[in-house]
């Protein structure tokens, strides 16, 4: 690795054409300039200038090093300029959320991108644990989850809530939900099914559902694609529990029966980011949109 100070001294020497002027520009002594040039030549393995009568001429190898030094200067200036630029309407926002929330969020992000063409989005649909892992490893910058993290390196901010729904085929409309019915129907399993079911059974106000465990229920199908889960329910293959936003975007809603709970089951939505990391200004641009969708 070539010492950047030697490169700066060499570039300045070629630009000024004189050792004394180079020393003045860089606030160095003339012997110090000479020492930098000598060390740079030793590092490169070639003479970079040919000295004569207290003057010099650049060599072919010296010209290549000079061009390299120019590129380094331009890259450095470009870096400094980019550090000074923190536009609220330009750059990439790396986000993650549940698949159901993504159904509402993505069209809104596209609308924002149409308004600000230099603002781009990387949106990942993932379960809670994956979102938290990706924030820790800086794979994403911000996530929307339904459980506050226990990790004190992460910061959680409540932005709203969403209702969970027990969804059954239409043939079960107005039928009392109990273990027998759910066993007869069968479960459409998915990555968040156990968490959603447990929360729903504990919070819906129907005490006979509280002790039902997911392992008691026959699984009729498993799918990790959110857009496909409700197709199975609509075709009468089984039941599941999903956030209301997933149902709202389903094209065959008329084939579904949403069992009415005695008590509405909701879960808070949290924006998660690193505790001590300051995000770029562009994330403030999308915050009102996230809050709007979650209410």
From CA 208, how far away is CA 123, in angstroms rounded?
39
Topology (CATH) of 91-160+268-294: D-Maltodextrin-Binding Protein; domain 2 (3.40.190)
What fold is seen in the domain 162-266? D-Maltodextrin-Binding Protein; domain 2 (3.40.190)
Q: Read off the pLDDT band of 191 (50, 70, 90).
A: confident
The pLDDT of 236-246, averaged and rounded, is 93
CATH fold match for the domains 91-160+268-294 and 162-266 = yes
- Name 218's Cβ contacts closer than 8 Å, sequence gap at least 6: 183, 186, 187
For the chain, which residues make up each domain, given as ranges? 4-84, 91-160+268-294, 162-266
Report pLDDT for 272: 96
- Quote the mean pLDDT of the chain: 92
Task: Please give the pLDDT value at position 24.
Answer: 93
Measured CA to CA, the distance from residue 105 to residue 249 in angstroms comes to 12
pLDDT for 81 equals 76
Predicted confidence band at 147 (pLDDT cuts at 50, 70, 90)?
Answer: confident
**What are the helix (H) ranges across 85-165?**
99-115, 128-136
pLDDT in tens, 93-130: 999 998 888 988 999 999 999 999 999 999 998 888 89
What local confidence, expressed as pLDDT, does residue 30 receive? 93
For residue 213, pLDDT over 80 is answered with yes
Q: What is the CATH number of domain 4-84?
A: 1.10.10.10
Whole-number pLDDT of residue 97: 93
Average pLDDT over residues 268-281: 93
Which pLDDT band, with edges at 50, 70 and 90, does 291 fall under? confident
Q: What is the mean predicted confidence (pLDDT) over 24-47?
A: 94
User: Please, which pLDDT band fits residue 181 given cuts at 50, 70 and 90?
Assistant: very high
Q: Note the pLDDT of residue 47.
A: 95
Residues 6 or more apart whose CB falls under 8 angstroms from that of 243 comprise 98, 100, 101, 162, 163, 164, 165, 196
Arithmetic mean of pLDDT, 61-80: 92
- Percent of the chain surpassing pLDDT 90: 76
């Amino acid at each position: 690795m070539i010492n950047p100070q030697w490169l700066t001294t060499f570039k300045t020497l070629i630009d000024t054409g004189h050792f004394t002027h180079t020393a003045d520009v860089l606030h160095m002594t003339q012997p110090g300039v000479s020492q930098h040039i000598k060390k740079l030549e030793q590092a490169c393995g070639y003479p970079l200038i040919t000295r004569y009568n207290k003057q010099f001429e650049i060599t072919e190898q010296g010209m290549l090093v000079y061009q390299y030094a120019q590129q380094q200067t331009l890259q450095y200036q470009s870096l400094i300029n980019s550090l000074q630029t923190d536009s609220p309407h330009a750059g990439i926002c790396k986000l993650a959320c549940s698949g159901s929330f993504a159904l509402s969020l993505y069209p809104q992000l596209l609308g924002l991108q149409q308004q600000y063409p230099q603002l781009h989005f990387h949106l990942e649909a993932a379960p809670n644990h994956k979102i938290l892992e990706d924030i820790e490893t800086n794979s994403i910058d911000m996530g929307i989850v339904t459980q506050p993290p226990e990790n004190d390196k992460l910061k959680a901010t409540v932005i709203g809530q969403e209702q969970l729904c027990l969804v059954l085929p239409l043939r079960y409309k107005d039928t009392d939900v109990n273990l027998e019915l759910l066993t007869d129907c069968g479960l459409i399993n998915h990555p968040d099914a156990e968490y959603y079911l447990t929360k729903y059974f504990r919070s819906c106000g129907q005490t006979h559902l509280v002790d039902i465990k997911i392992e008691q229920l026959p699984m009729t199908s498993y799918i990790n694609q959110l857009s496909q889960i409700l197709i199975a329910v609509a075709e009468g293959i089984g039941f599941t529990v999903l956030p209301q936003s997933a149902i709202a975007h389903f094209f065959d809603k008329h084939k579904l029966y949403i069992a009415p709970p005695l008590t509405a089951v909701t879960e808070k939505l949290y924006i998660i980011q690193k505790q001590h990391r300051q995000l770029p200004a562009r994330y403030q641009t999308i915050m009102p949109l996230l809050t709007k969708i979650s209410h």
